[in-house]
Amino acid sequence: MRTAFIRSLAELARIDERVFLVVGDLGFSVVEDFAHEFPDRFLNAGVAEQNMTGLAAGLAAEGFHVFTYSIGNFPTLRCLEQVRNDVCAHRLPVTVVAVGAGFSYGNMGYSHHAVGDLAAMRSLPHMTILSPADPREAAACAPALLASGGPGYLRLGKAGEPLLDGSRPIDLLAGPSCLDRGDGDVALCATGPILSEAMRAADLLRARGLRPGVFSCPLIAPIGDATLASLWAYRGVVTIEEHVAAGGFGSLLREHAPPKTRIVSLTADRNLTDLVGSQEFLRTRHGLNAERMVSACIALAEEVR
Amino acid sequence: MTTLSFAREIRRRTIGMVSAAGTSHVGGCLSMADIVAVLYGGGIVRHRPTDPHWDKRDRVILSKGHCCASLYAALALRGYFPPEELDTFGQDGSRLMAHVSASVPGVEMSTGSLGHGLPVAAGRALAGRRRGGDQRVFVILSDGELDEGSNWEAILFAGHHRLDNLVTVVDCNGLQSLGRTEDVLSLEPLIDKFLAFRWGVREVDGHDHESLSRELGTLPWEPGRPSCLLARTTKGKGIDFMEDSLAWHYRSPNAEMAARAITQLGEP
């Protein structure tokens, strides 16, 4: 995903001289080509995220569209006030890019678990927030965020995520993207690479004679009431996300859902701070997998029938 | 108008504004009044009040945003907006809020939380370098603000990147919220610290216009090094009952005190 993103950023930089990449001393084997091709629009700010974000705001105030790039919580939580005050309050074109969404860096420990970033970023003014599910969605993010002309947040996985679906038209700002309409009252919705679990859940459910709708939801902000209208055709929605409940994706849908819609959200346990392991292990221990989605979907289908 | 009479008028307006609005921070407004007067009244800052976004202007960022009253006064007196608008300072719905706001003509950046101005200034200076412009970026810091680690990230950065178009003026009034800067979190020796971070450093009496003009008029002092002017000042400067007093970080002069203070400043 990060490779797809950086390639698309380089393509953008070739045609738009405003594109500027600032990294927080991270991106080994990812950013070198960009740095080599655009030495005047690349900067390694060092391990100093507050300054990185402040100076990105300064560059943006002088006309650049700056992408700050780091991993996990470093470009978001470490410098949250710089993002809030220097970037967002001034409506400056700075896109914060964090690789390692959710439990991507699971065995690195809690410092590297990015499970509260959406809540923090969602609270900020003027932000466009994208959380793509696969390399194809990721490649469409940089152009969309550049076009937004203002502050943005891009939540990426890491490397090697599979292409989940190659056929859909990609229009990130249009809202939820449908992979399967289904034929029932329930839809499965995911944001980010954990869409793979929602797709696997749909397969498991089909084997049991149920065909839920399946949606990828890369757009987190801005969300108007109409943006999510395609989801409200269903009486029940099961969400999954690598993020805690507070301020996350399920919470977002609940803020906009009509009263008749039931939403069940699978979210990370905010208190599991000592648990370390692979992404798959952590997803399972936090109850974020296809099996849990299947049982939630079956129960919800019963309830709304 | 001489810079001295400009400074006196800035102080007079500032006291009237904070008194009418009942706001704090008059002490820090008065300690930096001479710095602002020399920057904007002494021909240091290249700017066009009728064209605040003129692309060749020097950028000025007030990082100690709580002391915006004296900057607003200077900007209004220089023609960025009508001085009568200063009467709205801190009032409901005014754009002259009590921490500096970029919605005010001539203000480059809103601040209020300390330690934000210098990193942004460094970014603007870097943009100037990368694009080849000759505009400078001035940032006014407080000394207490240097407790913030973000400043030292930016100081390290600016030295490393040889941003000699970046100028930091530190209003060293020696007092911060709960005490003397040296008692709260010792900053000295500041000269040595900035030198170690590869800056050019000068130290002046921050109320001596001749010294301020001389140093700020010969920038950069060393090619390839950002400049730091340590302006040694007195909090509440010019008003005997406010000078070097921690209380005036918080207190707002009532009408009688404000009248007494303005009398002390003398005739314009």
The predicted structure's pLDDT at residue B24: 94
Measured between beta carbons, the chain A residues lying within 8 angstroms of B150 are: 50-51, 54, 82
The predicted structure's pLDDT at residue A305: 84
| Smallest CA–CA distance from B148 into chain A, residue | A50
Q: Where is B186: in which H helix or E strand?
A: none
Q: In chain B, how many domains are there?
A: 1
The Cα-based distances of A63 to A92, A284, B56 in angstroms read: 9, 45, 14
Contact B44, B213 (CB under 8 A): yes
Q: Which domain holds residue B48?
A: 3-265
Q: Domain ranges for chain A, please list them.
A: 2-156, 172-304
The predicted structure's pLDDT at residue A159: 79
Place of tokens 């969300």: A223
Min Cα–Cα distance to chain A from B81, Å: 21
Q: With CA atoms as reference, report the closest residue to B119 among B154, B155, B165, B148.
A: B154
Contact B179, B135 (CB under 8 A): no
The predicted structure's pLDDT at residue A160: 85
Q: Do B122 and A43 touch (CB under 8 A)?
A: no
Q: Which residues pair with A266 in a beta bridge?
A: A240
pLDDT band at B268 (very low <50, low <70, confident <90, very high): low
Q: Which CATH code is given to the segment(s) A172-304?
A: 3.40.50.920
The Cα-based distances of A208 to A203, A205, A211, A214, B162 in angstroms read: 9, 5, 9, 16, 67
The predicted structure's pLDDT at residue A225: 74
b/e map of A36-55 (b: 16 or more CB within 10 Å)? Answer: eebeebbbbbeebbbbbbbb
Longest dimension (CA), chain B: 53
Q: Which of A46, A82, A86 sits opposite B157 (nearest CB)?
A: A46
User: What mean pLDDT, rounded, does chain B reach?
Assistant: 97
Q: Do B123 and A89 touch (CB under 8 A)?
A: no
Name the CATH superfamily for A2-156.
Thiamin diphosphate (ThDP)-binding fold, Pyr/PP domains (3.40.50.970)
Contact B128, A26 (CB under 8 A): no
CA angle B234, B190, A22 (to 5 degrees): 115
Q: Where is B141: in which H helix or E strand?
A: strand B137-142
Asked if the model's pLDDT at residue B267 lies above 80, the reply is no
Cα A226 to Cα A173: distance, rounded to the nearest angstrom: 12
Asked if the model's pLDDT at residue B184 lies above 80, the reply is yes
Question: In this structure, what are the phi and psi dihedrals at residue B56, rounded to the nearest 5 degrees?
Answer: -95, 10
Question: What are the pLDDT tens digits along chain A (305 aa)?
Answer: 999 999 999 999 999 999 999 999 998 889 999 999 999 999 999 999 999 999 999 999 999 999 999 999 999 999 999 999 999 999 999 999 999 999 999 999 999 999 999 999 999 999 999 999 999 999 999 999 999 999 999 999 987 889 998 888 899 999 999 999 999 999 999 999 999 999 999 999 999 999 999 999 999 999 987 899 999 999 999 999 999 999 999 999 999 999 999 999 999 999 999 999 999 999 999 999 999 999 999 999 999 98
Asked if the model's pLDDT at residue B158 lies above 70, the reply is yes
Cα B22 to Cα A191: distance, rounded to the nearest angstrom: 49
Chain Cα centroid distance, residue A129: 7
Q: Which of B111, B127, B150 sits opposite A59 (nearest CB)?
A: B127
Q: Which of B111, B113, B124 sits opposite A62 (nearest CB)?
A: B124
The predicted structure's pLDDT at residue A158: 86
Min Cα–Cα distance to chain A from B24, Å: 22
Percentage with pLDDT > 70 across chain B: 100
Exposed, middle or buried, A167 (CB in 10 Å: 0-12/13-18/19+)?
A: exposed
Q: What is the CATH number of the domain that holds B56?
A: 3.40.50.970
Cα B163 to Cα B183: distance, rounded to the nearest angstrom: 32
Min Cα–Cα distance to chain A from B156, Å: 10
Exposed, middle or buried, A246 (CB in 10 Å: 0-12/13-18/19+)?
A: exposed
pLDDT in tens, B100-130: 999 999 999 999 999 999 999 999 999 999 9
Measured between beta carbons, the chain B residues lying within 8 angstroms of A56 are: 123
Asked if the model's pLDDT at residue B213 lies above 80, the reply is yes
